[in-house]
Amino acid sequence: MPRREHLLKIGVSGVRGVVGEFLTPALACAFAQAFGTYVGVGRVVVGRDTRSSGPMLQHAVTCGLLASGCEVVNLGILPTPTIQMFAGSSCAQGGIAITASHNPPEYNALKLFNARGLFFNQYEREELIDLYHQSEFRNAANGEIRKVADDFESPARLHISRILKHVDVERIRRRRFRVAIDCVNGAGSTMTPAFLRDELNCEVHAISIDPEKPFPREAEPRPDTLGDLSTLVSATKSSVGFAQDPDGDRLAVADETGRILDNDDVLALAVDVALRRSSGDVVVNLTTSSAIDDIAASHGRAVYRTPVGEANVVETIQAVNAAIGGEGANGGIVFPAVHLCRDSYTGMAFLLDRMAETGESMSTLAARLPRYSRKLGKVAYEHGRLGALMQALEGHFPGARLDRLDGLKIMLPQGWIHVRSSNTEPILRIAAEARSAAEAEELHGRVLKLLGEC
Amino acid sequence: MNRDATKSLRISHVGLRGVVGPGLTAARVIDFASAFGTFLDAPGAVVTGRDPRASGVMIREGVAAGLMACGRDVIDLGVVSTPVIQHTIRRMGAAGGVSIGASHNTAAWNALKFFGPAGVYLSTAEAGELLDIYHLRKFDFADWRGIGRLHIETGTIDPYLDELAAMFDIAAIRGFCVVVDCCNGTSSHILNRMNRRFGTHFILINAKTEGVEFAHGPATTRDTVGLQLAPLMVPLGADAGFLFDVDSDRVALASEDGTAVSEELVLPLIADYLLPRHEGKLVITNLSSTALLEEVAARHGGRVLRVPVGRQSAMDALATYRPEQIALAGEGTGAVMMPQFRFIYDGIASMLAILSMMKERGARLSEILKSYPRYSIIKGEVPLLSRQIPALLAAIRERYRDGQVNATDGLRVDWPDRWFHVRVSQTEPVVRIICERRGDPPRELYNELVEQCLAANTY
């Protein structure tokens, strides 16, 4: 029997699904009303990315929040980090971003933030979901229903002013960098060109900055989806190219030749910049490159590893009071001095500042990074079978250092292997890293072979 | 309106109504709007508007979300009267519309009313289909490419006033000093605009539209008129006083001598004005409204058609006649529609008709009212025990066998000089008792009926 498609997920990350048949206005409204009931009477900020379903869902969410007695501040179209930051500094009880981040356009989701502008922790999330399931919402009477206010200006101002405190603005402005950008017609379409042009005095060449148009490429910014940015960098002889995902939290970077940098290298560059100016350690997920360990070591800092997922990284950054953190493969940089969230804008500012400081090109900066080769892959896999594979791997690499925090990571003299099952799909993710491409390939191949045998 | 708020929800052919919070919830609003989006056949956008109740914003958000999810663009008019919404649906050629507002109910309530193309209330068959879709909760949501958008449209009052100005000679009534109790409702926006645009002289009280509490209950009745409006007439030297419910589809009045006029007189008054120019045409009303209407109609060779109480019956009756066969339609609650505005109850238009009549006749309002024979009506209600209703009606019918019986909606019994109507309310769990007599109030008849209804609860 074919697997029944149910393209809706109500879980730890909020509500996510294909709009229409699965993610309905009723569901969004009820979830927002549960959220409003949970955070309590007060102000809730709401913003969204540029998906066509965004306005409809925002009305549904606003309806649910008002019904719970909350006042709603409509922020319009904004990047997720900007919404989070504003939620955390506007005396709000919380915030909701209506965005499915890097998912395809038919998806949408509600991301939920607490009064500090942080993703709910695991216990908050569980309480909220219980409340949602019990459907015992606060139902405000006429006299208790508050208003909707618009604030389209303050959040971006707050976000940008925070970033500018952590870079040498004059140094960047003097260089008048020529920068190519691809905003995927997403939430950064207005803010990103303005940030680079007006604040950092860049000469901006932009594609896909029309928030009314659909995403022109795959939403996730990866080397294989950013051909247009590469072309634009070359055609305009730009010093660097930046690409965002639809909600502006993830960043991909092209060097001046148009080559798209490995996302792990982008994170490594940002970590290097952060550690030059801030004290504290580094937090990355288990799949992030060992280049981070080398860079941290060169600054005399420690590296903490977490399970995959922004929330995990953010929680550990808080716990160890780290200087910076992130997740390599998915282009997420978290610099807590700006805010405890993935933020492509901090990444852009850091890289431009480093270029301005050193006078070196992006390709040179990237080439200076510790050299590792990575092989990432995924295979269809039943969730329940991971245990057998893990046992086989352990037997295959006797004496190796193991980490079972998230799937299994095997650390070997020549590199490492990380296998884990996806939280969202019935697939197994396999990552291998080594000093050379051949070695990485070989490690990856060994896992696939074992997978075939067990 | 003393019902337990948690049991206030009423979902029927007239739409959705209840006390916001315990009765009318966001979830129900979204589902009903989704059902309406699924129900609508005609292509085009859907017009929405609301009265100033604070809960209206919440409900507007839910209505917009449901309609947009069904692929409909939504044109939101903001805080406007129900007649303006209906006019705008027609003017824009929209597929339909939703009016968010609980009209004559207190501020705690809210409701949704639905309109089809041309701003027409849904027929009973259509409303039934809408209810079925709501109950099934199987909605036709668009995929991500087809989801609708919301557009804000302001400035819809002027085109509405253009239509009123084409129908009434507004310049001619500029000389009247008119006091209006807006009940903190949508009429204040319209009348302020009329004062600026036409130089009319409407003095507004309770004109703020803040929506948390109203100055007083907004029911268009003689009692409400007596609270603040009627006492102002003589001190202000006003020629007439009008009171509108919150969404301005109903009107009540005070005469220049400070009398709070019975709400029952609005319809006969306008019939008296319109029938001479619509000789022999129909007046459609319900079984509960004053018998004075028959007398007034007879003066002008008109005919009264009485249908069961409720907007739905009136709409169905209207739909069975051609527009040129009808002089006007209305209820004893101050809701009147004229043939030019077919299917639209419009309090402002009703007021303009009455002022035009005063102007044309050169008569004071009290003089016109005195030209009608005196009728006295008593209205009351008794709590309902649903299962006893059939027995109760049979017992009443048995007791008053000497009268002429009409059983199409509860029981109406007529004698030459008096009548009564006992029926079950569509909006509240009560039995309504209405008695009227030409001359003095039929107090004895009324008391008999109340006793009999109360006794029925112990059968």
CATH number at residue A431: 3.30.310.50
Give CA separation, A298 vs A80, A305, A356, A357, B309, in Å: 33, 18, 22, 19, 86
Structural tokens at position A150: 């618009």
Mean pLDDT of A81-109: 95
Q: Write the DSSP string, A149-170.
A: EE-SSHHHHHHHHHHHTTS-HH
B155 SS3 class: coil
- Terminal-residue alpha carbon distance, chain A: 24
| Interface predicted TM-score (ipTM) of this complex, two decimals | 0.91
Told to judge if A101 belongs to the known catalytic residues of this protein, a careful annotator would answer yes
Q: Does A55 touch chain B (CB under 8 A)?
A: yes
What are A30-67's pLDDT values in tens digits?
999 999 999 999 999 999 999 999 999 999 999 999 99
Confidence of residue B10 (pLDDT cuts 50, 70, 90): confident
- pLDDT at res. B1: 41
Largest CA distance in chain A: 69
Residue B126 CB partners (closer than 8 Å, separation 6+): B39, B116
Q: Which helix (H) or strand (E) holds B225?
A: helix B222-227
Mean pLDDT of B84-93: 96
A64: which chain B residues are within 8 Å (Cβ-Cβ)?
26
A104 and A243 both lie in a single domain:
no
- Phi, psi (rounded to 5 degrees) for A8: -140, 140
The whole-angstrom separation of Cα B165 and Cα B157 is 12
Structural tokens at position B448: 């008999």
Q: Write the DSSP string, B81-133.
A: -HHHHHHHHHHHT-SEEEEE--TTS-TTEEEEEEE-GGGPBPPHHHHHHHHHH
Q: Give residue limits of the domains in chain B.
A: 5-157, 171-258, 264-370, 375-456
- pLDDT at res. B369: 97
Structural tokens at position A223: 């080397």
Of B20, B62, B149, which has the smallest distance from its Cβ to A141's Cβ?
A: B20
Tell me if the domain spanning B5-157 has CATH number 3.40.120.10.
Answer: yes
- C-beta pairs of B337-342 under 8 Å, 24+ apart in sequence: B338/B167, B338/B270, B338/B274, B339/B278, B340/B167, B341/B83, B341/B86, B341/B87, B341/B163, B342/B120, B342/B318
Least confident of A149-163, A239-253, A319-333, A336-350: A319-333
Output the average pLDDT for chain B: 93
Quick check: is A1 in a domain?
Answer: no
Confidence of residue B28 (pLDDT cuts 50, 70, 90): very high
Contact A195, A158 (CB under 8 A): no
Last residue of a domain, one of A367, A395, A417: A367
**Total number of residues shown for chain A:** 454
A117 and A180 both lie in a single domain:
no
Q: Do B58 and A63 touch (CB under 8 A)?
A: yes
- pLDDT at res. B42: 92
| CATH number reported for the structural domain that contains residue A75 in this entry | 3.40.120.10
Contact B174, B204 (CB under 8 A): no
Quick check: is A3 in a domain?
Answer: no
Domain B171-258: give its CATH superfamily. Alpha-D-Glucose-1,6-Bisphosphate, subunit A, domain 3 (3.40.120.10)
Confidence of residue A386 (pLDDT cuts 50, 70, 90): confident
Structural tokens at position A342: 């993935």
A132 and A236 both lie in a single domain:
no
A41: which chain B residues are within 8 Å (Cβ-Cβ)?
none
Structural tokens at position B148: 């609708």
DSSP category for residue A199: I
The whole-angstrom separation of Cα A370 and Cα B247 is 71
B401 SS3 class: coil
Contact B327, B281 (CB under 8 A): yes
Nearest-CA distance from A26 to chain B in Å?
Answer: 6
Query: Fold for domain B264-370?
Result: Alpha-D-Glucose-1,6-Bisphosphate; Chain A, domain 3 (3.40.120)
pLDDT beyond 80 at A5: no
Buried b (16+ CB within 10 A) or exposed e, A287-313: bbbbbbbebbeebebebbbbbbbbbbb
Structural tokens at position A94: 């919380």
B54: which chain A residues are within 8 Å (Cβ-Cβ)?
142-143, 145, 147
Torsion (CA) A434, A439, A441, A442 in degrees, nearest 10: -130
A265 and A169 both lie in a single domain:
yes
Q: Do B54 and A143 touch (CB under 8 A)?
A: yes
Q: Do A63 and B139 touch (CB under 8 A)?
A: no
B58: which chain A residues are within 8 Å (Cβ-Cβ)?
62-63, 66-67, 140, 145
- Phi, psi (rounded to 5 degrees) for A279: -85, 160
Of B5, B22, B150, which has the smallest distance from its Cβ to A59's Cβ?
A: B150
The whole-angstrom separation of Cα A344 and Cα A321 is 21
The whole-angstrom separation of Cα A426 and Cα A445 is 20
What are B332-387's pLDDT values in tens digits?
999 999 988 878 999 999 999 999 999 999 999 999 999 999 999 999 999 877 78
Cα atoms found within 13 Å of the Cα of residue B391, Cβ hemisphere only: 13
Percent of chain B with pLDDT over 70: 98
* B421 residue type, one letter: H
- pLDDT at res. A242: 98
Residue B174 CB partners (closer than 8 Å, separation 6+): B198, B199, B200, B201
Of A30, A62, A140, which has the smallest distance from its Cβ to B61's Cβ?
A: A62
Confidence of residue B2 (pLDDT cuts 50, 70, 90): very low
pLDDT beyond 80 at B100: yes
The residue from A101, A189, A208, A344 that is catalytic is: A101
Decide which of A32 and B1 is more confident.
A32
> Considering only CA atoms, which of B286, B281, B233 is closest in space to residue B257?
B233
The whole-angstrom separation of Cα B307 and Cα B314 is 7
The chain A residue lying nearest B146, using CA atoms, is A52
Interface of B with A (CB under 8 A): 5, 19-22, 25-27, 29-31, 34, 53-55, 57-59, 61-62, 64-66, 68-69, 107-110, 139, 141-145, 147-150, 211-213
B145: which chain A residues are within 8 Å (Cβ-Cβ)?
52
Cβ atoms within 10 Å of A44's Cβ, excluding its own: 30
Cα atoms found within 13 Å of the Cα of residue B246, Cβ hemisphere only: 33
Q: Write the DSSP string, B248-278.
A: SSBEEEEETTSPBPPGGGHHHHHHHHHGGGS
A17 and A109 both lie in a single domain:
yes
The whole-angstrom separation of Cα A239 and Cα A234 is 9
The whole-angstrom separation of Cα A366 and Cα A72 is 44
Of B19, B58, B145, which has the smallest distance from its Cβ to A145's Cβ?
A: B58
A400 and A313 both lie in a single domain:
no
A210 and A191 both lie in a single domain:
yes
pLDDT beyond 60 at A2: no
- Substitution target in B63, B147, B152, B212 with the highest count of A β-carbons within 10 Å is B147
Nearest-CA distance from B30 to chain A in Å?
Answer: 6
Nearest-CA distance from A384 to chain B in Å?
Answer: 33
Q: Could you list the residue range(s) of the whole structural domain that residue A384 is in?
A: 373-453
B21: which chain A residues are within 8 Å (Cβ-Cβ)?
67, 139-142, 144
Of B54, B149, B213, which has the smallest distance from its Cβ to A145's Cβ?
A: B54
Percent of chain A with pLDDT over 70: 96
The chain A residue lying nearest B144, using CA atoms, is A106
Decide which of B390 and A351 is more confident.
A351
- The label of the residue with tokens 């409702």 reads B185
- The label of the residue with tokens 């939290």 reads A249
CB-based burial label for A133 (10 Å; 0-12, 13-18, 19+): exposed
**How many DSSP H helices and E strands does chain A contain?**
15, 20
Strand pairing category for B10-12 and A427-434: unpaired
> Considering only CA atoms, which of A196, A198, A276, A211 is closest in space to residue A242?
A196
Contact A328, A267 (CB under 8 A): yes
pLDDT beyond 80 at B402: yes
Cα atoms found within 13 Å of the Cα of residue B303, Cβ hemisphere only: 6
Confidence of residue A13 (pLDDT cuts 50, 70, 90): low
Give CA separation, A312 vs A113, A307, A308, A369, in Å: 15, 6, 7, 26
A52 and A93 both lie in a single domain:
yes
B212: which chain A residues are within 8 Å (Cβ-Cβ)?
142-143
The whole-angstrom separation of Cα A35 and Cα A64 is 9
Quick check: is A2 in a domain?
Answer: no
> Considering only CA atoms, which of A78, A64, A58 is closest in space to residue A32?
A64
DSSP category for residue A238: -
Domains B5-157 and B171-258 share a fold: yes
Residue A424 CB partners (closer than 8 Å, separation 6+): A9
Q: Which helix (H) or strand (E) holds B284?
A: strand B282-286
A90 SS3 class: coil
Output the average pLDDT for chain A: 93
> Considering only CA atoms, which of B157, B215, B211, B158 is closest in space to residue B181?
B215
Q: How many interface pairs between A and B have CB atoms less than 8 angstroms apart?
A: 134
The alpha-carbon radius of gyration of chain A (Å, integer) is 22
The whole-angstrom separation of Cα B406 and Cα B453 is 18
What are B264-305's pLDDT values in tens digits?
999 999 999 999 988 889 999 999 999 999 999 999 999 999
Q: Which CATH number fits domain B375-456: 3.30.70.270, 3.10.20.70, 3.40.30.10, 3.30.310.50?
A: 3.30.310.50
- Substitution target in A56, A108, A137 with the highest count of B β-carbons within 10 Å is A56
Q: Do A25 and B213 touch (CB under 8 A)?
A: no
Q: Do A56 and B30 touch (CB under 8 A)?
A: no
Structural tokens at position B16: 């959705």
**Total number of residues shown for chain B:** 459
Quick check: is A402 in a domain?
Answer: yes
A307 and A362 both lie in a single domain:
yes
Structural tokens at position B236: 């202000």
Strand pairing category for B74-79 and B202-205: unpaired
Mean pLDDT of A147-157: 97
Residue B83 CB partners (closer than 8 Å, separation 6+): B160, B248, B249, B341, B344, B345, B346, B347, B348, B349
A207 and A273 both lie in a single domain:
yes
Strand pairing category for A43-48 and A71-77: parallel
pLDDT beyond 90 at A329: no
A300 and A190 both lie in a single domain:
yes
A81 and A182 both lie in a single domain:
no
- Substitution target in B34, B38, B112, B144 with the highest count of A β-carbons within 10 Å is B144
Q: Count of domains in chain A?
A: 3
Last residue of a domain, one of A122, A152, A182: A152
B311-319 vs B124-136: helix axis angle to the nearest 10?
Answer: 130
> Considering only CA atoms, which of A15, A18, A13, A79 is closest in space to residue A49?
A79
